[in-house]
Homo-oligomer: A and B are copies of this chain.
Amino acid sequence: MDKATRTRPTGAARSPAKAPGRPRSDATRQSVLRAAFELLTEGGLARFTIEGVAARSGVARTTIYRWWPKKGALAMEGFLEATAPEIRFPKTTSAVADMKAQLRLCAKLLRGRAGRIICGVIVEGQTDPETIAAFIEGYLQPRRREARAILQRGIDSGEMRPDLDMSALLSALYSPMHLRLLLGEPIDDAWVDSLADTVLQGCLATPTAPAQVRTAAPPRSA
């Protein structure tokens, strides 16, 4: 497809040199993405309309269609553009603690403006598989990779069981807050913590009483 030619954001266009014709305006691209992000944030989904984005961004409707033939793609790209670098968290010696920290960060993200956008992306994705793919690829996977690394560190240090089913575990930890988001239920840190405790309590190398999980110290010795 010529999609690779046109959608520049992905990857490094290894053909650095010429593309014939007038080059794509980056100012245009950004103002569209910003407008999309804002509309999604403010009016959430109902107000998120190509027409609206065009109006607010001052970009012609046709231009928007040229680059984002699907609304979902636009939402997703606007989302990534605006929130990509937000998730960073400190690493401690305890995998459980790290895990919880990341979960809390993610929860915070969902509580904020990004939450509305994720809902929008998922909704759009119901009609368009590519949007879902972009969502999984661009948002879920990175988070999962990071989480996987944390758990691996836990295993390596002996804090966590070595026979963890990571995939299942990650689902159990991350899905609930996304579903709550979609259902409009609050996602506060206390709830996240208790979920983490409940799920992680069976994953420690040294089984403990649930109360102890909460303080989850790196296991013995050290």
A195 to B166, CA, bound (A): 10
Partner of A176, one of B45, B46, B135, B172: B172
* CB-based contact B127/A45 at 8 Å: yes
The answer to whether residues A207 and B210 also contact, given A126-B44, A197-B165 and a CB cut-off of 8 A, is no
The smallest beta-carbon distance between A194 and chain B, in angstroms, is 5
A148 interface residue, CB < 8 Å from B? no
Which B residue's beta carbon lies closest to that of A119? B126
Near B by CB (< 8 A), chain A positions 167-207 give 167-169, 171-173, 175-176, 178-180, 182-184, 191, 194-195, 197-203, 207
* CB-based contact A126/B179 at 8 Å: no
Main secondary structure of the interface of A (DSSP, over half): helix
* CB-based contact A171/B182 at 8 Å: no
Which B residue's beta carbon lies closest to that of A198? B168
A149 interface residue, CB < 8 Å from B? no
Specify which chain B residues have a CB less than 8 angstroms from the CB of A119 in the assembled complex: 126
Looking at A120, A173, A176, A194, the one whose CB has the most chain B CB atoms below 10 A away is A176
Which B residue's beta carbon lies closest to that of A183? B132
A114 interface residue, CB < 8 Å from B? no
A55 interface residue, CB < 8 Å from B? no
A183 to B176, CA, bound (A): 14
A95 interface residue, CB < 8 Å from B? no
Contact indicator per residue, chain A 131-155, by CB within 8 Å of chain B (1) or not (0):
0100110000000000000000000
**10 closest A-B pairs (Cβ-Cβ)?**
A202-B202, A207-B207, A201-B202, A171-B176, A175-B176, A168-B198, A175-B179, A175-B175, A172-B172, A168-B195
Supply 23 A–B pairs (Cβ within 8 Å), ascending by A: A45-B126, A125-B184, A126-B182, A129-B184, A132-B183, A161-B210, A163-B209, A163-B210, A164-B198, A165-B197, A165-B198, A168-B195, A171-B176, A171-B179, A172-B173, A175-B178, A176-B176, A179-B179, A182-B182, A199-B202, A200-B202, A201-B202, A202-B210
